[in-house]
Amino acid sequence: MGEIKIRSLNVGMPRVIPFQRKDVNTGIFKDPTEASIFLSYNNLDGDGQGDLVHHGGKEKAVCVYPYEHYAFWEEALRRQLSCGALGENVTTQGLLETEVCIGDKFRLGEAIVEVSQPRQPCYKLTLRYGVPEMVLKVQQTGYTGFYFRVLQEGHVSRDAGISLLERHQAGITIAYANRMMHQDKDDLEGVRRIIAVAELSDNWRRTFMKRLAGSEPDTRERLTGQT
């Protein structure tokens, strides 16, 4: 892992958007800010999530997305994108899914944070961009980003930066976890490797435990918004 930095810090409160003949409350819309913002155990001040069942909370307090993927999405969507376009709180440079591991610890401004799980894309991306295949493309490419849980609260800002404190010895990358979750579903030994990492989020642990027991979650609502 080389030099890492914050390209942008992004926040936004939920708004109600019409989608598939219903109103959806979503926090997918984030705007860059130069302010110093307090990061609590649950979220950044001035930021919120519309669906608190599947987004936010202590294990998904901060959504992170690599700036390196922006060129890919600009070409795929045929439009320019500003930071925060994928709904992330922190747009980073130098933190790719192929390198970042579950349990890695970072100093984010005054705060200390820890990688808890990959981001799982949902239909809110379709709501924002009107491209239904985008959600699956995020999964297939592995360009998902990831989440931080907060170990120590504090103020954060773009200028305050981010630095690596500790690499997790298990070496379970976000890319590997994504592959086990979405593609190599028959690799139960790989699943056991992941759930052995104590820092893995409870949500992903439950899903993998169900797989070991022979069941898989219904992903239709997450991917399409349809129940």
CATH number of 54's domain: 2.40.33.20
Per-residue pLDDT of the chain (227 residues; tens, 9 = 90+): 789 999 999 999 999 999 988 999 999 999 999 999 999 999 999 998 766 565 667 999 999 999 999 999 999 999 999 999 999 999 999 999 999 999 999 999 999 999 999 999 999 999 999 999 999 999 999 999 999 999 999 999 999 999 999 999 999 999 999 999 999 999 999 999 999 999 999 999 999 999 999 999 888 888 888 76
How many domains is the chain partitioned into structurally?
Answer: 1
Q: Which residues pair with 164 in a beta bridge?
A: 106
Give the model's pLDDT for residue 48: 83
- In this structure, the number of other CB atoms found within 10 A of the CB of residue 219 comes to 14
Quick one: pLDDT at residue 152?
98
27 and 49 Cβ atoms separated by less than 8 Å: yes
Tell me the residue type at 217. P
Radius of gyration for the alpha carbons in the chain, expressed in angstroms and rounded: 17
pTM for the full predicted model: 0.95
CA separation for the pair 82, 130 (Å, rounded): 17
One-letter amino acid of 24: V
pLDDT at 164: 98
User: What range does the domain containing 197 cover?
Assistant: 5-224
Q: pLDDT at position 55, please? A: 62
What pLDDT shows up at residue 52? 58
If 0-12 CB within 10 Å is exposed, 13-18 middle and 19+ buried, where does residue 32 land? middle
Neighbours of 136 (CB within 10 A): 14
Q: Which of 81, 70, 67, 56 is nearest to 6 (CA)?
A: 67
pLDDT at 50: 61
How buried is residue 36: exposed, middle or buried, by Cβ count under 10 Å (0-12/13-18/19+)? middle
Helix/strand/coil for 32: strand
Identity of the residue numbered 218: D
User: Exposed/middle/buried for 224, CB within 10 Å: 0-12, 13-18, 19+?
Assistant: middle
* Cα maximum dimension of the chain: 48
